[in-house]
Amino acid sequence: MVIAPTTRPWFERDDWHVVAAERGLTPRERALVDTFRTEGFVVVEDGRVLDELDVDGIWTSLEDRFAPDGAGRVQDAWRELPAVRSIATHPAVLDVLRLLYEREPIPFQTLNFRSGTEQQTHSDTIHFSSIPSGFMCGVWMALEDVTLRQGPLHYFPTSQRLPEFDYEDLGIPPVEGDRTWENPKTLASYLVYEQRIAALAREGGFRREELAIAKGTFLVWSANLLHGGSPRDDRTLTRKSQVSHYYFAGAVPFTPMFSRARDGRYDVRRLQDIRTGRWVTPSIDGAPLLFPGEPDGLREIARAGGLAGALSRAVGTDRGLPRSAGEALAWGARALARHLRS
């Protein structure tokens, strides 16, 4: 049975303030939620975030992985640098995400930038979406004081209220072949996507803002907020920063640009929780799942009942995404046997 959930984040509800009162939120917390639900982002100042972290060591370790002018990015440096991991998993950041989404955040990816990206306007939902939708966000952390001359982040407040556009919505043919950036068709389709998103930003009349903030300040943005990197006015200046991406418990992560959502077939992601290094088993609001399909192909999403369901939640992503009840049972039996031997 294919699942079509309708759950959305609580702050999108018209009666969100009633829920906020029931949760006993403070005036500051209510203000953070109100800004986030209205604007699609919120800026949080917290001078403690970078205390006792070797931020300078990040750039010493990664220096030779950027272009001579500082351009480029380093993905998932959390695997080798404790400071990167600590930024992505900082209690001050995770507490804000729990406040906003009322679900447990799962940090799964880091990107470190030495200079401004100059990236074209886009929505993260073309790369990261979820079932139910809306349960993904990004956090941009300033690792030095950032001014408007350094190629700051730009964004379009309230644009998160647009539909979550995928390629089919925008009239872009699906990517054929390998679902990787090494496939030339991936980049070709994405360039068309950027052009059409830029047109939507213009036609929608959204105001464009740029972010100048102090070191240690971070911005949380909704996955569907249109954003990008502004031009670097002075290419000798750095713009040291870290982006961390988060999904939330009880949602299935997938990549829309490679999926066929209209056909119920998804490029389901496997998430490794940065906090623990362990693979996360997807569920929808706690319901155990199976993912029929080829091992390296697109997947359907179906409920898993009984013992197979319990085992698919317990051991599924340690081995992969279980395609059938039989596979979930077999994997579970092997995991139980290993546990008993140990």
pLDDT band at 145 (very low <50, low <70, confident <90, very high): very high
Highest mean pLDDT, choosing among 24-33, 38-47, 147-156, 172-181: 24-33
Percentage of the chain modeled with pLDDT above 70: 94
Q: Is 217 exposed, middle or buried (0-12, 13-18, 19+ CB in 10 A)?
A: buried
Whole-angstrom distance, CA of residue 248 vs CA of residue 135: 6
* pLDDT at res. 331: 79
pLDDT band at 61 (very low <50, low <70, confident <90, very high): very high
Peptide bond into 68 cis (omega under 30): no
* pLDDT at res. 313: 63
Give the contacts of 247 (CB within 8 A, at least 6 positions apart): 105, 106, 108, 128, 130, 135, 136, 253, 271
Tell me what the mean pLDDT of segment 262-285 comes to: 91
Report helix, strand or coil for 30.
helix
| Stated pTM of the model | 0.93
- Mean pLDDT in the chain? 90
Domain limits, the chain: 10-254, 282-341
Whole-angstrom distance, CA of residue 211 vs CA of residue 152: 6
* pLDDT at res. 325: 83
Contact 178, 258 (CB under 8 A): no
* pLDDT at res. 281: 84
* pLDDT at res. 309: 72
Tell me what the mean pLDDT of segment 105-122 comes to: 94
Task: State the DSSP string of 217-277.
Answer: -EEEEETT--EEE---S-TT----EEEEEEEETT-EEE-GGG-BGGGTBB-BPPEE-TTT-
pLDDT band at 1 (very low <50, low <70, confident <90, very high): very low
Distance, C-alpha 43 to centroid of its chain:
17
Contact 209, 154 (CB under 8 A): yes
- Specify the higher pLDDT residue, 268 or 48: 268
* pLDDT at res. 295: 64
Lowest mean pLDDT among 4-8, 151-155, 212-216: 4-8
Max CA separation in the chain (angstroms): 63
Q: Is 84 exposed, middle or buried (0-12, 13-18, 19+ CB in 10 A)?
A: buried
**Axis-axis angle for helices 306-319, 325-341 (nearest 10):** 70
Contact 272, 280 (CB under 8 A): yes
pLDDT band at 332 (very low <50, low <70, confident <90, very high): confident
* pLDDT at res. 200: 92
Whole-angstrom distance, CA of residue 74 vs CA of residue 84: 11
Whole-angstrom distance, CA of residue 141 vs CA of residue 220: 9
What is the CB neighbour count within 10 angstroms for residue 140? 24
- Class at the top of the CATH hierarchy for domain 10-254: mainly beta
Helices (H), the chain: 16-23, 27-39, 55-62, 82-88, 91-101, 184-203, 306-319, 325-341
Tell me what the mean pLDDT of segment 245-251 comes to: 96
Whole-angstrom distance, CA of residue 221 vs CA of residue 51: 23
Q: Does 272 score more than 80 pLDDT?
A: yes
